[in-house]
Amino acid sequence: MPYVEALLASSGFVRQIDQLKAGMGMQHFGPTHLAQIRVPWSDASEQKCIGDNYAILLQEASEISERVRRVVALLEERRLALIASAVSGQIDATTVRE
């Protein structure tokens, strides 16, 4: 199953779907379109290897994304603290350093 997940998330698969979508106002994609998709296939051991690597990379991406969210939240807190310090006169915000 991880191989299928990796395949469905691949740029090649998504590109094929984008090219086969039909409709002007509301694009749709049905079974007849799906039948036209070309799927690379390999033996079970290679599929397992691809699926395992995909799962590892997906987990790493999730962890990195969570770290980025935490850093952005921390930077936002620090930005607000800096603004509050400048407004309250605790720091001089009129001098500019280059």
Query: CA torsion angle for 46, 47, 49, 52 (degrees, to 10)?
Result: 180
pTM attached to this predicted model:
0.62
pLDDT of 95: 73
If residue 89 lies in a helix (H) or strand (E), which one and from where to where? none
- Residue ranges of alpha helices (H) inside 24-43 are 31-34
To the nearest whole number, what is the mean pLDDT of the chain? 87
Residue 96 has pLDDT above 70, yes or no: no
Model confidence pLDDT, tens digit, residues 40-71: 888 999 999 999 999 999 999 999 999 999 99
